[in-house]
Structure 1
Amino acid sequence: MDVAVEAPVVQQHIGLKRTVRAYIALTKPRVIELLLVTTAPVMILAQGGIPNLWLVLATLVGGALSAGSAGAFNCYIDRDIDRVMKRTSSRPLVTGELSDRQALIFAWVLGIGSILWLGLLVNWLSAALSLAAILIYVVLYTMVLKRRTPQNIVWGGAAGCVPVLIGWSAVTNSLGWAPLILFGVVFLWTPPHYWPLSMRYRDDYSSASVPMLGVVRGRMIVGLQVVLYAWATVACSLLLIPVAHMGIVYTATAVLAGAWFLYESHRLYSMAIRHGKVSPMRVFHSSITYLTVLFVAVGVDPLVPFFRF
């Protein structure tokens, strides 16, 4: 679907403070925060304790640069639809705080910098995974899938799962079943996390001709898909217990937090069936809390034996 390209935005002349804030906004900091939350705990699990703190810092900085690069490329490529959608109307390329050229150079610098940083300070497997994440998000999701299919966030969302692999590979310089299961958790979690957002901003996405599931399908279908993926997410999270020999902290958290996530998902579907007032953002925020709590448990569980007397 094509989106009408509006006249270029005239760049504003702003001070240093606003310029820095604009560059930071390009990186989508809230997304970076969530990605880092899934990285550090996996490093603890891979180590079976606290890894070298310099390694943790280097990995988190490299991951932030990588995610920031992907976010900046996304803002550059999607600047036409960002000008149409109210939700994205305050982004720097829409307001004119930064020029298209500045954003593109910034994205390339962050991307190349992240790969070199991880390769030289962590290992080249982590650097390769960082490159893969950028390519999946920028090319597969933003350029290929986003404007063509409602399955965009399903396959394009794989980019958000890669930090789990980077965290594990940073410690072990290898991959294994445990990080692959956690990759699956984030992969399956992404649709029920994002589809409620597409319900909330249905008119926005529709005006920009972006075929998110909330645009091309009714509330009942979206609600059902949220439920199915939520069940798959929780089931996948439980696979980690026997594979990684997880203890009571992770087991209890996966069960209880998973039950809450399922409740919120079923509640959304139930409200959609009754044609009542749907609160998709409640599921959206609940999904963030669920993933955060689950991965905190991933990091805490291996440390429990160290506190036994």
Structure 2
Amino acid sequence: MSDASITPQAATGEAEFGDYIALLKPRVMSLVVFTAFVGLVAAPVPVHPVIAFCAVLFIAIGGGASGALNMWYDADIDAVMKRTARRPIPSGRVGAQEALGLGLALAGFSCVMLALAANVFSGLFLAFTIFFYAVVYTIWLKRWTPQNIVIGGAAGAFPPMIGWAVATGGVSIESVLMFLLVFMWTPPHFWALALFMKSDYETAGVPMLTVTHGRPATRRHIVAYTLLLAPLAIGTGFTSIGGPLYMAVAVVLNVLFLAGALRIWRRDETQAAADGYKVERSFFRLSLIYLFAHFAAILGEAVLGHYGMGGW
């Protein structure tokens, strides 16, 4: 267990509403909401707009619960990392036990309400996702293995499957492909960040790949995962959630993504340090556009399909 989970951290200042919102990791939540919404809309079964709205809302709340539980457990790590030191718990604005209570309450509420609003399977799926992120990734994998991002990435890849389950009550090859798209994208995305944030992870004692195996090995891993990701992403275009729009986006972005990964692989550490990891930072920004654009294209195909214009 982490220090944050053993010794409650007292808040040193009065928390504001924005501090509790920050506990929910709104930027991560936005990705959860978007991919879940795409999964719901892309599903072949129509969903009543009110049910769809409620379902996405409860999925968002579940994502926020995961964020709060993650911040509760990782408060000791966050306190020593530059990019996280100002988060609500390490800064003393919110107590650790407050975050734990909020996370547990939101988790229970979101899962029960999703089950009632949509179907029991989607509610159970959301509960499993929260458990996977808060326990399997945060408590177990993150501090134990350099494969933390690889395995733990599944938690961030489940939302489109949950959205699909809201509509269909189950799982299909299309929802699995959306899961795999996020799952395979996660390692190169986070390893690019780790290349220029290595010192933060070293200070916190997190066994990120850059810390345990070094930057050169991390660069090779980024290329390897990008080579696996590209055919998966392009191949998805030939399924029922793909089409000409998706294929055009996928081809262009995967060419750019692979080119960026190869540029990272060819870099030596002296050159990277000299320009402040400019290429690595650029690749990280591209990775954000990459995932959003793929899911936006899936959404576009679904909307076009509604008017008889999407798909092949």
Q: Give TM-score scaled by structure 2 length.
A: 0.91
C-alpha contact 1:2 1:209 (8 A) present in aligned 2: no
Instruction: Return the match for 1:128 from 124, 130, 133.
Output: 124
Distance of 1:151 and 1:245 partners within structure 2: 30
Structure 1: any 5+ residue segments left out of the alignment? none
Q: Give 1:116 shift.
A: 0.9
Shift of 1:275: 4.1
**C-alpha distance in 2 between matches for 1:40 and 1:4:** 34
Q: 1:242 to 1:207 in 2, by over 3 A?
A: same
Q: Hey, what's the Cα distance between the residues in 1 that align with 2:38 and 2:256?
A: 21
| Distance 1:272-1:64 versus aligned 2 partners, 3 A rule | farther
Contact 1:41 1:300 in 2 (8 A): no
Structure 2 unaligned regions, length at least 5: none
Matched residue type, 1:184:
L
Q: Among residues 187, 194, 199, which one is paired with 1:191 in the alignment?
A: 187
Distance in structure 2 (CA, Å) of the matches to 1:246 and 1:33 = 23
Tell me how far 1:181 sits from its aligned partner.
1.1
Deviation at 1:19, TM superposition (A): 2.0
Residue 242 (structure 1) shift: 2.9
Q: Which residue of 1 aligns with 2:238?
A: 242
Q: Which moved more, 1:78-87 or 1:276-285?
A: 276-285
The one of 256, 263, 274 aligned to 1:260: 256
5 Å matches for 1:161-240?
Answer: 161-240=157-236
Equivalence for 1:153: 149
Q: Measure the CA separation in 2 of the matches of 1:19 and 1:100.
A: 15
Name the structure 2 match of 1:283: 283
Letter in 2 for 1:246: G
Measure how far apart 1:11 and its partner are.
1.7
- TM-score, normalization: structure 1? 0.91
Q: Does the aligned pair in 2 maintain the 1:76–1:104 contact within 8 Å? A: yes
Q: Which moved more, 1:236-245 or 1:258-267?
A: 236-245
Q: Identify which of structures 1 and 2 has the higher relative contact order when contacts are C-alpha pairs closer than 8 Å and 6+ apart.
A: 1
Over the matched positions of the two proteins, sequence identity in percent amounts to: 33
Secondary structure class of the residue paired with 2:158:
helix
Q: Residue 154 of structure 1 contacts residue 187 of structure 1 at CA under 8 Å; is this kept in 2?
A: yes
| CA-CA distance at 1:6 after TM superposition | 12
1:238 positional shift: 2.2
SS for the counterpart of 2:99 is: helix
The offset of 1:88, in angstroms, is 0.9
Q: Aligned residues, how many?
A: 304
Q: CA deviation at 1:303?
A: 2.5
Match of 2:137 in 1: 141
| Aligned mates of 2:201, 2:54 — CA distance in 1 | 37
Structure 2 Cα separation of the partners of residues 270 and 3 of structure 1:
40
Contact 1:9/1:95 (CA < 8 Å) preserved in 2? no
CA deviations on 1:209-235 (whole Å, 9 max, x unpaired) are: 111012122222111111111121221
Q: Is the 8 A contact 1:3 1:208 kept in 2?
A: no
